[in-house]
Structure 1
Amino acid sequence: MTDDDDGNAALADPGRLAALAETGLGGEPDPALDALAERARRRLGAPIALVSLITDREQVFPGLAGLGEPWARTRRTALDSSLCRHEVVTGAPLIIEDSGADPRSRDNPLVAALAIGAYAGFPLTDTAGRVLGSLCAIDHRPRRWHADELVVLTDLAHACSLELRLRIATRDAQRERARTDTAEAMLREAFTRSQLLLTASQSLAHAGNISQLREIVTDLVSGDLKPAYIGLTLAEGAGDLHRIDDPLQALGPESGDELSHVEDDTPIALTAREARLQLYTDPEAIAAAFPETAQRRYAELRLCSIACVPLPGPAGVAGVLLFGWDTAHEVDVHEQAVITTLAGYVGQALERARFLEDRVTVARKLQEAMLTRLPEPAGVRLAARYLPVGRLEQVGGDWYDAVDLTGAGHDALALVVGDITGHDIQATTLMGQVRNMGRQASWERPAGPPSAVLAAVEQACAATGVGATGTVLQAHLRPETGDRWLMRWASAGHLPPIVRHRDGTTEVLSGVDMMFGYPGLRKTPLVDHQVRLRPGDTVLLYTDGLVERRRTDLDAGIQRLRETAAALDPTDLARFVDDTIRRMLGRGTPHDDDVVVLAAHIPAADRR
């Protein structure tokens, strides 16, 4: 078989062509890939960058930057003139420093048509390693590609491959389950933003959220440049400008406005509009350029001179960084270089912070979607709350559940609270699996003890390789004669339930076994415990985020919860739960862990 035969076989590989079709991409422009091509072009200082996909008939460019007509309009070329096809055939990068001298390119008609002097392309692959196309950079002159440039292009090609794989995976997932358009768009946006992390500045890599950026920049700026004030404004949709720091609220078009607009007559709006550094060395310079309202508001901040620099983003200006001095200050060329470089770092960190916030938003919505809509069983009132962790960058594996087992032929109610180890999306995913296994086990064992349900779930996790660990408490409520209820429970390492009796006294129910998720280490079976509840009694199940604080004894937290429950009226159970959480956490106090509270109340007036 000849090399041409091998090349044609690679191009016509059915699996490769099927993967290409699964991306949903062709010769139409794709905003995300256009942005990635533009990033490659700017990072390598090359006139042209292309995201090229190779079919068995042609070459298409769903992502491009700097390419002239007619190719920018048609976004396709003939296959026989494609340089990118070499990456598909060989599976290796193609590096050409002088296309006129290199035998792989010198006779190619497209080389002359596009004035290709140098070419560097890296394969784009699917999860099976099949090469779908290439991310390439093109220079009009012969050029030596340096090692650090090739590293950048390698990283961006990897990011582009991840994007293609995500699209393939998304289309596969659509055939297997129904996703709402909203959830898919959120996940797409979160993953697209993740690609910006590849070139994010290490100096701001530890910024966990947008609100931290201004403080970090303030710490970075030192020496003669040290300003009296630093402000950060973000560009939102439809030309809106949103200030994230309180002092800058006074700089909007009207006092107290949260938003200004890119067309307003202010230094920040002008910087966002023109996408270039704006310098005003003294109040006279500000007065000469802007109306009295802008002058007055900067004067209120006691700023005599300001510098506004745009923050670069993938779709243009992402925001504006403002430096203000309380004396006249002329920013020299060296300080301008510092300011503009710093703005570039902040722009990258801004995209990273937005990615993290969006990712956590998606995870929290998925987590909250897994929580139970409480049933309304006869003779018992239920209320529950889930409060995510105070730190933005974390999500967790806390959950609650309530299953009415009357449909399974038993007059009983299963209550569950649990906490899967970890504060990330993986913990949330594991929580969802354990919760569903628990529901199934409760439904299949309506007459069995809670310990049997927990043991079944633990064994199922071990057998299926779920690998979830943490704490879980399973309780079963069953009515007895005389308006009493029997509650049996088993605890795999979870915090003890608290009973608030009708007279306001409280009781901590003892009995805790080894943590959930280690069946091989469990020397003795889980033990069931029981208590009888009277009308007016209330049971509180909760996770450690409610009672545990750093540098505070856990027993002290549980005692505080007892006192809180005793002081509140559980007749309005939803309000009882809300007030309990409010008093335990305090107003405006950040908490270190997710909080779950599930309460069951036996109304005194209900008779069975």
Structure 2
Amino acid sequence: MDDGRGAAGGGPLPPSTAVPATPDASFDRFARLVRAQLGVPTALVSLVTAHGQVLPGALGLPAPWQERRSTPLTHSVCQHVVATAGPLVVRDVRDVPELAGSLAVPDLGVVAYAGMPLRDADGDVVGSLCAVDGQPRDWTERDVEVLRDLAAACSSELALRQLRERAREALAASEQARAAADGSERRSRVLLRLSEVLAETSSPADVVAAVAPLARDGLGADHAVLHVLDPVRRRLTAEDGGDGGHRERRLDPRDVVAAVVASRVAVLVPDEAGLLAAHPLSDLGPGYGGGAAAVLPLAVGGRVLGALVLGWPQPVLPDPAEREVVGALTRYTAQAVARAQLLADQRSTATVLQEAMLTAMPQPDHLHLVSRYVPAADGAQVGGDWYDAVVLPDGATHLVIGDVVGHDMRAAASMGQLRSLTRSLAWALVEPPSTVLSGVDEAMHDLHVPALATVLLARVEQSAGEAAVGARRLRWSSAGHLPPALLEADGTARLLDEGSDLLLGVRTGTPRHDHECVLPEGSTLLLYTDGLVERRDRPVREGMDELCRTLSRHAGLGLEELVDAVLEDMVGGHGGGDDVALLAVRAHPEDRPRPDEAGPGHP
């Protein structure tokens, strides 16, 4: 089992991991969360390679493994999670032929095992977040759900570390490129301006739009096209900074752009005839006039990103001094493209995290739930807001809206932990919302979850007497969050501004209070985060008043259409300086069938 090929029937194991075999505070925190939430004696964050596994997060291992933080593959059950890229949940590994011979059983005390895949920034499974018991155990659906949520948050921590390392590499390469520039007046002037304009770019289109005028003014080139490589699909996408759309091409060695990307060697030709003689399928784009051309590979840190094409109106190649400028321009462009891809990766990581954390809404009978999440316009300002809804065993529906203080990827990771805590305690404690929030506050303190957050937890419930008259009761508690908005069936909208208590994460033991009101038939409850109502040019109170007017203005719409109309009116349908989370609930009359617009409900 230690030849690097993975478990039987599985794929190859990763060749290495960047995380050392030493205790890591962040990953130990995930191990503590697993042990506390699932009640197991041992919890591990395991990263598997073809040579063994490292355990940067570990609690409960026997000596000497707890101190070593690494084992050979002979002691690894987690390798099966990596090799199959899927969960592994086993009551007793001794009963599974593929696992029974693992030395993890006698040496590490692994009997019952539940492991969820951990993915890196590229989406590859590199490890497992696992819970271990020394006795046979029947894992519950809740155990698996909690472990899956924590694994998603732990994967985000792994991805963030990779992205930060790539950012450091890109920055180091950029600094090296800057140091390589000589002191000639012309080159300094062109490159200084280039660094200024490229610093403001965030996409390949921005990059080529910045490079084209400088290539024209500093080098006399009248044509500039950026070709970005998709290594998975093996395609090149051309971007000229205009509105001509994206043009794709296959990697064909008879095309000069594909040949340059493959060889990473620049090609300079005096005219189109010379170009086509060597590469007969070349097409430099409609703006190329047939003169001299330079096709330049864009590479950073050993990765090829694509190619930059420059064209001149005359069949005259750049002189040696101009070629130095072309080389520096190519390096600067490569750094800008790498940064644009890094920003896209950051947005993608945030999106994956939000998709993992912000689950689909349940639809309890005659309650219609609709949710929205709109990221901030700035890709770096992501991840702190969330919503959740859980139908409890007693039939009540718990609604959650929250906002972790901070607007970065760390806030997104904290959001994932806090969401899991709130969801788990809301399910486990059949108590008023204030009691659940107090429990979350204490858990954050005891489990060392370093976050501050506003949270509003609401419970929609119905006694037998209320059910007889078609009424529901709303009970809620607010930890520093904005008040809910209630839209009556007659179009009247108001804030349920009954007061708020201290934020979560500030001080345990703080008094928390419940508020309640009747939720009438046909009414709509809206929970939201501050990105919906807060603007630099107006106080939050004015924004909440505007929200009430907006709700009244669109009172006749279906719930999906109402939520979209509110977003359009309040934030223009897209994020501004902050992300926005919305959770809307409409109480339909119970003496008639559930409306079609609400979709199929659940008893």
TM-score range, shorter chain: 0.5 to 0.7
Asked if the contact 2:470–2:590 (Cα under 8 Å) also holds between the matched residues in 1, the reply is no
Give the whole-Å Cα distance in 2 for the aligned partners of 1:553 and 1:458.
29
The reply to whether residue 546 of structure 1 matches residue 486 of structure 2 is no
Aligned equivalent of 1:535, options 521, 524, 528: 521
Output aligned runs, 1:75-90, within 5 Å: none
For residue 464 of structure 1, what is the amino acid of its counterpart?
A: L
Question: Residue 468 of structure 1 aligns to a residue in which SS?
Answer: coil
Question: Residue 298 of structure 1 aligns to a residue in which SS?
Answer: coil
Deviates more, 1:531-540 or 1:306-315: 306-315
**Cα 1:606/1:383, change in 2 over 3 Å:** farther
**Cα 1:285/1:562, change in 2 over 3 Å:** farther
For residue 551 of structure 2, what is the amino acid of its counterpart?
A: A
- Give the structure 2 partner of residue 429 of structure 1: 413
- Give the structure 2 partner of residue 200 of structure 1: 173
The reply to whether residue 591 of structure 1 matches residue 564 of structure 2 is no
Asked if the contact 1:506–1:562 (Cα under 8 Å) also holds between the matched residues in 2, the reply is yes
- Give the structure 2 partner of residue 492 of structure 1: 479
Q: Deviations over 1:80-124 (max 9, x none)?
A: xxxxxxxxxxxxxxxxxxxxxxxxxxxxxxxxxxxxxxxxxxxx9
* CA apart distance, 1:496: 1.4
Give the whole-Å Cα distance in 2 for the aligned partners of 1:429 and 1:392.
16
Question: Residue 378 of structure 1 aligns to a residue in which SS?
Answer: coil
Question: Residue 520 of structure 1 aligns to a residue in which SS?
Answer: coil
Give the whole-Å Cα distance in 2 for the aligned partners of 1:334 and 1:31.
49
- Give the structure 2 partner of residue 464 of structure 1: 447
Output aligned runs, 1:157-306, within 5 Å: 168-169=54-55, 177-179=115-117, 183-185=123-125, 196=166, 197-198=168-169, 199-202=172-175, 209-211=202-204, 212-214=206-208, 217=211, 224-225=218-219, 227-228=221-222, 230-237=224-231, 239-247=234-242, 249=244, 258-263=247-252, 268-269=257-258, 271-272=260-261, 275-279=264-268, 294=283, 297-298=286-287, 306=293
Aligned equivalent of 1:579, options 562, 565, 570: 565
Output aligned runs, 1:127-166, within 5 Å: 127-128=21-22
Give the whole-Å Cα distance in 2 for the aligned partners of 1:169 and 1:219.
52
* CA apart distance, 1:466: 0.8
For residue 117 of structure 2, what is the amino acid of its counterpart?
A: R
Identity in percent? 30
For residue 597 of structure 1, what is the amino acid of its counterpart?
A: L
Output aligned runs, 1:291-440, within 5 Å: 294=283, 297-298=286-287, 306-313=293-300, 317-325=304-312, 330-405=317-392, 407=393, 409=394, 411-440=395-424
For residue 184 of structure 1, what is the amino acid of its counterpart?
A: D
* CA apart distance, 1:201: 0.7
The structure with more helix, counted as a fraction of residues: 1
Deviates more, 1:479-488 or 1:285-294: 285-294
**Cα 1:189/1:535, change in 2 over 3 Å:** closer
Give the whole-Å Cα distance in 2 for the aligned partners of 1:271 and 1:552.
54
Give the whole-Å Cα distance in 2 for the aligned partners of 1:163 and 1:352.
29
Asked if the contact 2:254–2:280 (Cα under 8 Å) also holds between the matched residues in 1, the reply is yes
* CA apart distance, 1:358: 2.6
Asked if the contact 1:564–1:580 (Cα under 8 Å) also holds between the matched residues in 2, the reply is yes
Give the whole-Å Cα distance in 2 for the aligned partners of 1:605 and 1:351.
56
**Cα 1:307/1:427, change in 2 over 3 Å:** same
Give the whole-Å Cα distance in 2 for the aligned partners of 1:422 and 1:416.
19
For residue 168 of structure 1, what is the amino acid of its counterpart?
A: V
Question: Residue 224 of structure 1 aligns to a residue in which SS?
Answer: helix
Q: Deviations over 1:362-389 (max 9, x none)?
A: 3421332122332222332211122233
Asked if the contact 1:357–1:393 (Cα under 8 Å) also holds between the matched residues in 2, the reply is no
Aligned equivalent of 2:438, options 452, 455, 458: 455
Q: Deviations over 1:376-430 (max 9, x none)?
A: 223322111222333233431211111223x1x3x42221100111233322222
**Cα 1:21/1:271, change in 2 over 3 Å:** closer
- Give the structure 1 partner of residue 430 of structure 2: 446
TM-score of the aligned structures, taking structure 2 as reference length: 0.63
Asked if the contact 2:13–2:50 (Cα under 8 Å) also holds between the matched residues in 1, the reply is no
In structure 1, stretches of 5+ residues that fail to align are 1-17, 25-29, 34-61, 64-123, 130-160, 250-255
Q: Deviations over 1:107-166 (max 9, x none)?
A: xxxxxxxxxxxxxxxxx994349xxxxxxxxxxxxxxxxxxxxxxxxxxxxxxx999999
For residue 376 of structure 2, what is the amino acid of its counterpart?
A: V
* CA apart distance, 1:508: 1.4
**Cα 1:547/1:265, change in 2 over 3 Å:** farther
Give the whole-Å Cα distance in 1 for the aligned partners of 2:538 and 2:563.
23
* CA apart distance, 1:319: 0.8
Give the whole-Å Cα distance in 2 for the aligned partners of 1:422 and 1:290.
53
For residue 54 of structure 2, what is the amino acid of its counterpart?
A: I
* CA apart distance, 1:575: 3.2
Bigger radius of gyration among the two: 1
Asked if the contact 1:498–1:506 (Cα under 8 Å) also holds between the matched residues in 2, the reply is yes
For residue 545 of structure 2, what is the amino acid of its counterpart?
A: Q
Question: Residue 446 of structure 2 aligns to a residue in which SS?
Answer: helix
- Give the structure 1 partner of residue 545 of structure 2: 559
**Cα 1:471/1:226, change in 2 over 3 Å:** farther
* CA apart distance, 1:272: 3.3
Name the count of aligned residue pairs: 452
Give the whole-Å Cα distance in 1 for the aligned partners of 2:290 and 2:380.
35
* CA apart distance, 1:598: 0.6
Question: Residue 483 of structure 1 aligns to a residue in which SS?
Answer: coil
* CA apart distance, 1:563: 2.8
